[in-house]
Structure 1
């Protein structure tokens, strides 16, 4: 197995790419969302719309895991807990891993209980949960 060395990022390039991504997101997402809702509803009915909405929710959650990683690490976990910030993981998955490790802070346990009230065992069921687009998504 070949292990790639982490590429160094120049700070100004990172900031510039971040700014461009935000502008593109704000200007193009509303159009893409409207078209996606229309397309999905026509092609796959309300069930397809629910799956489309879930994919978007997971993507937003993964972004939140990166954007809020420092705050989440401060507020939700004890020292030595599983860290937030993995771009391929949801906040709920990281909470679930900390439930297993018993490293959630009091506030973290409260958030977990709120999630459990909405969806029983949500954080535990979210650990490494992946939704891969099916064939229908590309037709």
Structure 2
């Protein structure tokens, strides 16, 4: 049996034009094909697993949207919800709730961050702590 060692991905320079172009293309594809995929996915899940399937499908979408929010709002959330020594928002593979949970553990949430944690806690007890993803590699700035 072979053992493979994984090294963290190497950051490479990306042409800013390419980043903007890919962003615009992704928005166009989301707007044009997203509704079709949503309707088809809901119908597929309804007929294959009934309400359980729809709930699972919606949860998958919610997690993906949450990950998008973690990237999209990283600068604002880093400023408003955590102290300067806190674990940073912005990792595309992590949810906002996971970051809140990590900062809750290290007591690096600001009053706004603690308020958001209390709101999440009201909706689902210990939501942010239960959402922590321990296998996420921190992002390098």
Summarize the alignment of residues 1-139 of structure 1 with structure 2, pairs less than 5 Å apart: 1=5, 2-128=7-133
- Secondary structure of the residue aligned to 1:22 is helix
- Secondary structure of the residue aligned to 1:98 is helix
TM-score, scaled relative to structure 2: 0.89
Gaps of 5+ in 1: 131-139
* Larger helix proportion of the pair: 1
Q: Do the aligned partners of residues 96 and 4 (structure 1) sit closer, same or farther apart at CA in structure 2, a change above 3 Å counting?
A: closer
The structural deviation recorded for 1:4 is 3.9
Deviating 4+ runs (over 6 angstroms): none
- Secondary structure of the residue aligned to 2:132 is coil
1:50-80 alpha-carbon deviations (Å, 9 max, x no partner): 0110000000000100010000000100111
Gaps of 5+ in 2: 136-141
Give the alignment's Cα RMSD to 1 decimal: 1.4
